[in-house]
Amino acid sequence: MSKLSHTHPYKFTVNLLSIVILFFIGIQFYTAKHLRGFWPKFRRLQYPYKLLKPPPDPNLWPFVSYPMYNYAKHEGDTIKQYSIYATLDDSTEVLIQPEDLGVNYWVFMYGLKESLRLEKKEMIINFVQLYESRYHTKIINLRLYNYPLVLQKDKIIEAEPQLVKQYPIAELMKK
Amino acid sequence: MIPMFNKLTMPWEWWTTYWFRLTPLFNLAISRIIIVGSQLFYLLVPGRDGTIVSQLVNNSQLPDFLYNPLPILKIILFPLELHHPPPVVLLLAILALTIITGTFGLIGLFTTLNLIIFAIGNILIQAYIYSFGALYSHSQALVMISLFILALSPAGQVLSLDDLRRRIRQNRQRKSVDTFDIQQEKSHLARWPLLLIQWMFAIIYLDSAMSKLLKGGLDWMNGYTLQYYLWQDGLIWNRPLGIWLAGQHTLAILSSWVAILFEATFFFVLFFPRLIWFYIPLGICFHTGIYIAQNAPFLKYIPCYSVFIPWAELVKNVSKRRRIDGSTHNPEIIYDKSDNHCLTIITVLSYFNWFNRLTFRDWQTQHSSQSNNMAEIALDDYQKPLYLVLPSGSKRKGFLAFRESLRYLPPLWLLYPVLSLPFISKISANLYKSMESRQ
């Protein structure tokens, strides 16, 4: 009781705000994955290191890590340029673009393109059905092409196009 | 007992001194105005992905399989028990509420409450947009954190309508104008929000630098890395500067080193605040450069840099320099302190007199002191509640005195041409007269 009576309201605010400060800094450090490189290498500290592994981004958004543009590149590396083509039931070849699906560039690239590249079959079927419902047509084949550009010191040169993945839709539906 | 006690109290004292040292509230208020203002601009003006309204409408038309709500969105929407994407009408209503509360937060009306709603509204809107493809969710993250920190702070304690109303009320009750210097009003609670946002910047930049150094090592600065990303983004977003820069190998090496050194050493500003005059201009160039060359939308960081700037000190220095230059012959405002309307006007003018460019005198107590200007004004003229005497000797009365005074108050400069427009000038003058006569 005597301790409580000595508690000044200002001190209470300072204590509360200190918790807020520690929370914000703590959670940003926690999500900043690459700062884990500073963690001491003592064996005794490896258990809490593993225990404190942050969930993948963006589960704690707006607290996220910032791993942008982090891979080193060298002369001769290829810049990937993907294009997605569909064969319709009347044998027409069409280039599928974000606006055809009513999505923005990011949803298109990280949704459809990544699904094709990483063989996420359920997502591919969803995108196929989305396209079919918008254009009242039927897709029978879907292909992901890469039109690579080779990086040189002061220019880029076009390389041979590559067929990255191909999906006959009927087979995809059966599976 | 005593050494043990010291061991515990010393870090605590250091902690409270570091985070809760007396700091001008003016610094916090300017940061509030800049960050909230720029976020309102972002909500209203079309950006890289169109307007926020169009993004909300477009996303609401996307199929449910694309909807992968961020955990924070689930938490905010939990009371509504929504298991599907929220309806577009609800989202647009939330956007409208966010814009209204942001405007109130900007001008400082019921500031804390409005800033809390504004921060939650922004987080909800952004989290919803990012719930359809979250890999590009970085550019707004720091702004959201900053808005939330500002909402928890006394950011509306000065430079707000709340504060101005309080001062007008006080002056009217006291029947005098209490001259004040809002730049120098300090609080123990004004430092932690600014410092905390600075810490966020330092952690984020260091994380970004470490990710490059850990993944790419020193090879990251070989020039080819930056050229690769410039080609990639320049071609996707059709950025001519990016494409041109991508062909400049030596410039790319130099830019890579500058970028990595900037990110890896930015945290030094926390320990050596004077370094902001080097790092902040560099940061502005850095984010503007990657926006022009790569369409990377990190321009939103620039308004948040306002937390690093000692605004009160800057204003004080400008004011001091004017005095040293000898340009101290200020226009003089002579007012009637028995008039409530006049006290309101004087309080407003005094509130924005940051650079001390106006001098205020009430004629009841000062006419005996016989300033030159007072001597030149006939006794009848004293009966005018507001009188402005310019350094040239010419005089303005009533509304014209108020309007002319705005020219000497940089924060209100924009109002002067507006009140000078023929139609608005007439309406304002009539309004001023009717308020005057009501007294």
| Residue B189 near residue A12 (C-beta atoms within 8 A) | no
**What percentage of chain B carries pLDDT values higher than 90?**
55
Name the residue in chain B with its Cα closest to that of A23: B196
User: What are B266's strand-pairing partners?
Assistant: none
pLDDT in tens, B389-414: 888 888 888 888 888 999 989 999 99
Question: Any idea what DSSP says for residue A111?
Answer: I
Instruction: Return the exposure string of A52-73: e unless at least 16 CB atoms fall within 10 Å of the residue's CB, then b.
Output: eebeebbebbbbbbbbebbebb
Mean pLDDT of A150-167: 93
* Residue of A32, A106, A130 lying closest to B133 (CB–CB): A106
Segment of A60-74, B22-36, B53-67 carrying the highest mean pLDDT: B22-36
Judged by a CB distance cut-off of 8 A, whether residue B135 touches chain A is: yes
Cα B337 from Cα B350, distance rounded (Å):
14
A150: contact with B, CB 8 A cutoff:
no
- B61 closest CB neighbour out of A28, A73, A102: A102
Q: Which residues pair with A157 in a beta bridge?
A: A150
**Are A151 and A78 a contacting pair, CB within 8 Å?**
yes
Task: Classify residue B393 by its DSSP letter.
Answer: S
Token pair 């047509």 is at which residue? A137
HEC string of A25-67 equals HHHHHHHCHHHHHHCCCCHHHHHHHHHCCCCCCCCCCCCCCCC
How far apart (Å, rounded) are the C-alpha atoms in residues B268 and B276?
Answer: 9
Q: What is the Rg, in whole angstroms, of the alpha carbon atoms belonging to chain A? A: 26
**Closest-CA residue of chain A to B70:** A59
**B271 — pLDDT class (breaks 50, 70, 90):** very high
Torsion of CA B78, B80, B82, B85, to 10 degrees: -100
| Cross-chain Cβ contact B216/A71 below 8 Å | yes
B253 to chain A, any CB pair closer than 8 A? The answer is no
Q: Does A19 touch chain B (CB under 8 A)?
A: no
- CB burial class (10 A; 0-12, 13-18, 19+) of residue B392? exposed
Query: How many contacts does A have with B, using Cβ atoms within 8 A?
Result: 172
Cβ–Cβ gap B248/A154 under 8 Å:
yes
Tell which of A22, A23, A70 to mutate to test the B interface (max B CBs under 10 Å). Answer: A70
Question: Which residue has 């890999």 as its token pair?
Answer: B135
> What is the arithmetic mean of pLDDT over A9-38?
89
Whether A34 and chain B come into contact, CB under 8 Å, resolves to: yes
Higher per-residue pLDDT: B236 or B384? B236
- When scoring B210, B226, B294 by the number of chain A Cβ atoms within 10 A, the one with the most, hence best to mutate, is B210
B204: phi then psi, degrees, rounded to nearest 5: -65, -45
How far apart CA B301 and CA B197 sit, in angstroms, is: 11
CB contact under 8 A, B196 and A69: no
Closest-CA residue of chain A to B206:
A35
As separate numbers, helices (DSSP H) first and strands (DSSP E) second, chain B gives: 23, 6
Spatial CB neighbours of B230, under 8 Å, sequence gap ≥ 6: B242, B243, B245, B246, B252, B293, B294
Task: Report the alpha-carbon distance of residue B437 to residue B328 in Å, rounded.
Answer: 34
Pairing of strands A78-79, A149-151: antiparallel
Structural contact between residues A107 and B49, judged by C-beta atoms closer than 8 angstroms: no
State which amino acid sits at residue B47. Answer: G
Considering only CA atoms, which of B304, B37, B19, B27 is closest in space to residue B146? B304
Burial B203-218 (b: 16+ CB within 10 A, else e): bbbbbbbbbbbbebee
Confidence of residue B382 (pLDDT cuts 50, 70, 90): low
With a cut of 0.95, is the ipTM above it?
Answer: no
Q: Do A63 and B66 touch (CB under 8 A)?
A: no
Is it the case that residue A9 has pLDDT exceeding 60? Answer: no
- Evaluate if residue B309 carries a pLDDT over 60: yes
In chain A, what residues touch B140 (CB-CB under 8 Å)?
62
What are the residue ranges of helices labelled H in B45-131?
52-60, 71-77, 88-107, 111-130
Q: What is the pLDDT of residue B365?
A: 66
Over range B253-271, report the average pLDDT: 96
Dihedral angle of Cα B195, B196, B201, B204, to the nearest 10 degrees: 150
- Give chain B positions within 8 Å (CB) of A59: 70-71
What the block records as the tokens of B72 is: 């924070």
Question: Is residue B377 within 8 angstroms of chain A, CB to CB?
Answer: no
Got the DSSP string for B142-204?
A: HHHHHHHHHHTTTTTSSSSHHHHHHHHHHHHHHTS-----GGG-EETTSHHHHHHHHHHHHHH
pLDDT at B220 over 80: yes
Characterize the bridge pairing of strands A149-151 and A93-96: unpaired
pLDDT score for B325:
62
How far is the CA of A8 from the CAs of B14, B19, B29, B193, in angstroms?
A: 19, 18, 26, 22
Minimal Cβ distance to B207: which of A21, A34, A59: A34
Contact between chains at B196 and A25 (C-beta distance less than 8 A): yes
**DSSP letters for B263-308:** HHHTTHHHH-GGGHHHHHHHHHHHHHHHHHHH---GGGHHHHGGGG
Residue B316's closest CA among B307, B308, B324? Answer: B324
Report residue B139's pLDDT band, with 50, 70 and 90 as the boundaries: confident
Write down the pLDDT at residue B377: 56
Q: CB B235 to CB A61 under 8 A?
A: no
